[in-house]
Each structure stands twice: as C-alpha cells, then as structure tokens.
Chains A and B, each alone.
Chain A
Amino acid sequence: MSRVNVVKEFIIENFLFGEGEPLGLDTDFFDKGIIDSTGVIELVDFLEKSFGISVDDEELIPQNLSSLQKIDVFLSKKLAQKVV
C-alpha cells in the first residue's frame, strides 16, 4: 500500500469510522472538522509509530498536517532526513 493510502486508511478508520467518501487528497481536515485537537495528537502518534519518524513541536502546523497531500509531502521530507 502506498504511503498516502496507509495514512488515508488510518484517518478513515479512526476519524470517519469507515466513511471514506468525503476524503480527497486535498480535503482540509480542520476546515471540514474531520480532525479536532485531540485528533491531532492521535494522528501524530500514528505517523511517528508507523513511519519511524519523530515530529518536532515546530512541525505541528497545519501546513504539514491539514490534508493527505500535505502529510505526504511532510513525510517525504522527514523520511529523506532520516536516510541522510
């Protein structure tokens, strides 16, 4: 499964309880109310565990986390850093 699909599946399972329909690549989680404050913690916890990365405090911003696309770009960056 592609990286973005792993994240998508987690979000559908965990925040939408199986209802995948509203979730596009650029759907804004905060604008659509898909993820709330507690949800961000769950999401970051999932990303750290699943991809073996560590998310810094200053990285907890909507620009990195507010849609599948943004998460994908963020993960590419983090995983590239890891390799280096």
Chain B
Amino acid sequence: MCGISGIINLAQHQPISSNVLKRMVSIQNHRGPDESGAYIDDHIGLAHSRLSIIDLSEGTQPIHNEDKSLWIIYNGEVFNYPEIRQELVGLGHKFYTTSDTEVILHLYEEKGINCLNDLNGQFAFAIWNSKDKTLLLARDRVGVLPLFYTIQDQRLYFASEIKAIFSNRDIPRTLDPESLDQVFTFWTTLPGKTVFNNIRELPPAHYMLISPNGITVNKYWEMNFGSDKEIFNKKTDDLVNEISDTLTDAVRIRLRADVPVGTYLSGGLDSSALTETVKRKFNNNLRSFGIRFENKNYDEGSFQNEMVNYLGVDHSEIVISNDDIAANLEDVLWHTEKPLLRTGPIPLYLLSKLVNQSGYKVVLTGEGADEIFGGYGIFKEAKIRNFWSKYPDSKLRPLLLARLYPYIFKDERLNQTLVAFFKSGIENPDDPFFSHDIRWKNTGKIKNFFSGQIKDSTKNYNSYSELLKLLPDNYFDWDTVTKAQFLESLIFLSNYLLSSQGDRVAMAHSVELRVPYLDHRVIELLGKVNSEIKINGLNEKYLLKQVFKNRLPLNIINRWKNPYRAPIHRALLSNNLNLIKEYCSEDELKRTGLFEHSKVMKLINKLERIDKASEFDEMALIGIISTQIISRIFIDDFKYDFDESDKFDLFFDYRSVNEKLTNAV
C-alpha cells in the first residue's frame, strides 16, 4: 500500500516544482516509507511513496507503458492481477516489472475506462496520458483506500491524504459548517465531502477524468442490495456452498503478497471465520493480532482466547487502558482527518503499531461482514419497529427490542420508558430513513452545542436532503432492512469503518488492511439474497453462520454480538483532564468559534459528577474535543516541516525547462 499525490494545471502552463511534490510525499510518508518516485512534465506532477508488498525489487513507481505515453501512480492492490496479466501478455503487452501496478496500466491501455470493471481489489490511482493530456483518477468500489482533491488557482491537487494537499501553503484551510452538521448527524461526512471547505473526496466506485475538455466525475459500480433479478428467497445448500466458495476465493486472492500476511482476530464471528479460513485452508503458520481492554465492559478476551486455542494460531495482543485512549487521541486525529464520535479507532491505531513492530505489513480483517451479511443491531431494530408499526398499540411487539438490546433493557423497571423512546417515528414506516432516524436525531442533538455562528451558517442546511440525493432510484422499492443495509454501507462503512477506523489508523503505522468480505463478488452475491434470509427471524448473519457452523466452535457461532467499542467517559475525564483543559477552555472555544462555552462546561461538569454517562453525553464529549483538536492541528497549527534534502528514489523529469534554470517554486 502506498501514498499518491499530484498536481495538474487546468489552464495555462505553470511550472511544477519537485519540491512541492516532495513536500506532498513527505507529509504522508507513513503510507509508503520504503521508496519514493515522481514524474513531472509541463502539465502535471505525479508523486508516489511506496510500501513494497508485491515485486519488492522492481515495482518502484511511477510506472510507464512501452512507449512511455502512459504513467501511473497507484495505492492499493489488485488481487486478480496474475490472471489479467496473463491475458494481456497474450494480447502482446510487454511488462518490465512483475507488479500489479503495471498490469492496471496495460489494462487501461487495452480497455480504457472499462478496465475498472475487471479489477478485483482495493485501490486509488492516477493514470496520466501524456499524448491526449488526460488524467484519470479512480477509486475502488467500496472505498477501502482514500483519494482527495481540490481545485485552487487553476490547478487540481490530489492526494491519498488531505494533509498532503494542505502541504501546499496556497490551499486555504477552513472547516465546513455543513460538514460538521453531517458529522453530528450521521457520525461522519457523506460520500464526497470532507470536513474542510473545498476539499473533496472522490467517492467510492467513482472515477474522474481531467482533460483539456473539462472535468467529469462518474460512477462505475453500484452497491445494489435490492437487485430485482434472480432473488434468492430461500436458504438452500447450493446458496450456502456458493457463498462459502466465493468467500474462500476472496480470501485466497487476498493472500497474494511477497511478504507474510496476518489477520486481526477479535473473537467475533467475522474475524474468527476469516482467521479459520486462512489457517485451515492456506497458511498453517498464521500470525494473528488482537485487542484486549483493561476495562472488562469492553473486553472480548474469553472469545479471543477460545479461538486462539481452537485454531492454534500464533497470536499477539495489546491491552488498552483508559490512559491509552486519551494519550493517543491527538495522533489518531492527525490520521483520521475528521472528528470522531467514537474512540474505537484508537485501539486499532495501537494494534497496527504492534503489527508493524512484529515485522508485518499486511493483515486481513473482518470489516464489511456486518453490512453485507446483515449483522448490525440497527437492522434488527428496523425489522422489529417495522413489525411493531403494523400494530402500534401492541404491548408485546416492542418487547422484542429487549431481546435485541439486553444491555439497554437490563433494568426491567425502565422497559416502558425505553419502549416510548423507540416508538418515535413508528407511525411512518415508509419514511426513507425509518431505520436510522432515531439514531440520527439523537446524535443531531449535539448540534445544540454549536456556537451561534455555526448555527447561523447551517440554519438553512438540511443534511437529510443531501442524503436523499445519493439514494439509488429503486431504493424506495426496497424493504426496511435492505434500506438500512444500504444506508449503513453508503455512510458508515466507507467513511468511518474503512477510513477512520480502517485504512487511516493502519497506514499510520504502514500496515495494509485487506477486507475479503468486501470482495465485490461477495457483495453482488449477497445483494441477490432476500433480507429475510440474511436475518432469519432475529438471527443475524444467518448465512455466514451456516457456512461456518461446522468450522467454528458453537460458542462463537451462537454468541451474542457485542458492538466493538472503546471507553470514552472514563478515558477522557477521570484519568486525563488535560485534553479538556487544553482544548475546551473558554479561550480555546472562543478561538475556534465552533461550540458554545457555557454548554460545553455544563456537559463536562455533569460528566465529572456522574458515574455512568449516557451514550449521548459520551458522543457529545468526544465529538466536541475531537473537533477542537482537528481545528487546532489542521487549521491553526498545521505543521509544514519537511526535509528539503530528501531525494526521490526514482525521478522522471520531462519538463521543457529544468527548474534549476528557472527556480520554479
């Protein structure tokens, strides 16, 4: 995995200096510490930092085609590259490396933009056609890897991380109030948006063409859960076998690497199933890595130990304390580049450090199984509330929620008040956001903490309307659970799980994550399965359990699903008041102008007073502190430092005038 960055002139020729590219490479060097390379001509500069995983000796980028008219910089892995390469060789293409990067370039040469349909992998890349002066930027189907861009002074800047764009001093850095509205509703920004004004993300499954005729952005693949052709309405052995075979192959091709590949093992169904597949089918000497918590309320150690003993994997773990959460929050936000309403990314940031220290660069992880196979509590909540909506006065139907959230309903005295809480919106089951409205409205109350200034600038903004524009045409025909699955995948999967809690905290320590459950063949196959089979009654991920029922301990198959969470209240308050003093003082809040001091103080005073914070209070606390930190480290105190003496390991200079002569900056 790697970091890419570049600058293209959109109008007249402006010299591009190699130092500007070096700065962009340097600031995201954690993505690719092994090598760097660049290409510059009169129109464009492309730069690359490499984490070598495939073709360790020859894969240095940029890579070109036979006549050096096409150039590629690429972050990611295409797992089916050996098969594609063989076809291309048959068609007469000549290769000078054994890397997957060169395969993409020749496939593009052969098929143009349609090459994207053939790629099975996770990627963000740029291909420059120096003949017709066209740049292609593309991103994988579900957004495993990041790609951001902005246009400033007739130039388009792009990079794997926003900080590389900001390393150009001319780019303004301000927070976008509408994006903050989105974060404090959906837990993250919507696809395409970042929290910074004018900094855009190329959404998953999209490509962008920048040519002398203009700029176009198009979608090349749709995550379609409601495909109306060939729907599987019942569970058959054939279906379970087909899922099993597809998953096994998704794992098999993701083990392709010239370095060893490990797994993350939490003790949950998804990572256990994945680790079992790798260990039993492909690699008997498997290394696995896991997280433990000092605080027993968050720890899954018993399940993890059970799996380690069951499979006999060589397992390493880290134990996370409350202090670890507070001590690493600022570093993690430097990598996530957006505020957090959860602290879950911090343990994963520390886990990737352990992976790196263990000499590993690649791990397979279980992300995506909940979205694709139907695992989340919110899907079942939607199902129950939909069932309840048919008889809103039923006393029994809402009590199914107690089976779903035993930890919330554990105090039986509160059952009736809890039922009242979940009844909100029950009269309108056709609402497009029926499944998520309670969650989003509850989160949205954090916007009460916004300063008058932020409230003013968002008073006419409605993030729900923005989301409506992103829904596919047939969305309204889908059932409640399918709609919920789509919303979860569109928003939370790509913009939080795979980024803030995925790629960004893994690449912080130069570790590549690979996600077999998000192989597009798996997604497309499960897209054809009726949601009633995915969640059988209230039994989540029913088909995945069917695949693994004889391959995993029954304890793991039948265990209660706990959402992965990390401490907030005790981590940020009891042990470490410094962060609050540092970022939420009256002066700091005035300086950023984002939140109202008196309200923030009321929240902090309350949290200091009480033993058990509500989910809302915890979200508000971490949301406010993390936004304050983002504002400090990216807006007010952004670090530009880089070592100008650094040299590219590979440098193709095709500029008509050398910068030594022009002193271009």
Give residues in A with beta carbon < 8 Å to B. 13-14, 16-19, 28, 30-42, 57, 60-62, 65-66
Report whether A33 and B445 are in contact in the complex, using a CB–CB cutoff of 8 Å. yes
Selected from A13, A32, A60, A66, the residue in CB contact (under 8 A) with B602 is A13
Report whether A16 and B448 are in contact in the complex, using a CB–CB cutoff of 8 Å. yes
Question: How many residues belonging to B are interface residues under a CB distance threshold of 8 Å?
Answer: 32
Interface residues of B in 140-199 (CB under 8 A from A): none
Report whether A36 and B616 are in contact in the complex, using a CB–CB cutoff of 8 Å. yes
Q: Which residues of chain A come closer than 8 Å to B598, judged between CB atoms?
A: 18
Say yes or no for B424: interface residue by CB 8 A criterion: yes
Report whether B614 and A39 are in contact in the complex, using a CB–CB cutoff of 8 Å. yes
Residue of B nearest to A63 (CB): B416
Residue of A nearest to B412 (CB): A57
Residue of B nearest to A61 (CB): B416
Say yes or no for B603: interface residue by CB 8 A criterion: yes
Extra 19 A-B pairs, beta carbons < 8 Å, given A17-B449, A41-B411, A61-B417: A17-B448, A19-B448, A19-B599, A30-B417, A30-B420, A30-B423, A30-B424, A31-B423, A31-B424, A37-B418, A37-B421, A39-B614, A40-B417, A42-B610, A61-B416, A62-B416, A62-B417, A65-B417, A66-B420
- Once bound together, how far apart are the Cα atoms of A57 and B415, in whole Å? 10
Q: Which residues of chain B come closer than 8 Å to A39, judged between CB atoms?
A: 614, 616
Interface residues of B in 409-446 (CB under 8 A from A): 411-414, 416-421, 423-424, 438, 441-442, 445
- Once bound together, how far apart are the Cα atoms of A62 and B445, in whole Å? 21
Say yes or no for B612: interface residue by CB 8 A criterion: yes
Report whether B416 and A41 are in contact in the complex, using a CB–CB cutoff of 8 Å. no
A60 and B417 contact, Cβ closer than 8 Å, known pairs A31-B424, A38-B615? yes
Say yes or no for B613: interface residue by CB 8 A criterion: yes
Give residues in B with beta carbon < 8 Å to A. 408, 411-414, 416-421, 423-424, 438, 441-442, 445, 448-449, 596, 598-600, 602-603, 606, 610, 612-616
- Once bound together, how far apart are the Cα atoms of A65 and B599, in whole Å? 25
Q: Which residues of chain B come closer than 8 Å to A32, judged between CB atoms?
A: 424
Report whether B423 and A36 are in contact in the complex, using a CB–CB cutoff of 8 Å. no
Least CB distance from B598 to A in Å reads 6
Of the A-B pairs whose beta carbons lie under 8 Å apart in the complex, a sample of 9, sorted by A's number, is A17-B448, A17-B599, A17-B602, A36-B614, A37-B614, A38-B615, A41-B411, A41-B414, A62-B417
Report whether B613 and A38 are in contact in the complex, using a CB–CB cutoff of 8 Å. yes
Q: Which residues of chain B come closer than 8 Å to A40, judged between CB atoms?
A: 414, 417-418
A37 and B414 contact, Cβ closer than 8 Å, known pairs A16-B448, A19-B448, A31-B423? yes
Q: Which residues of chain B come closer than 8 Å to A41, judged between CB atoms?
A: 411, 414
A33 and B613 contact, Cβ closer than 8 Å, known pairs A18-B598, A62-B416? no
Q: Could you say which of A17, A41, A42 has the most chain B C-beta atoms within 10 Å of its C-beta?
A: A17
Q: Which residues of chain A come closer than 8 Å to B438, judged between CB atoms?
A: 33
A38 and B599 contact, Cβ closer than 8 Å, known pairs A60-B414, A62-B416, A66-B420? no
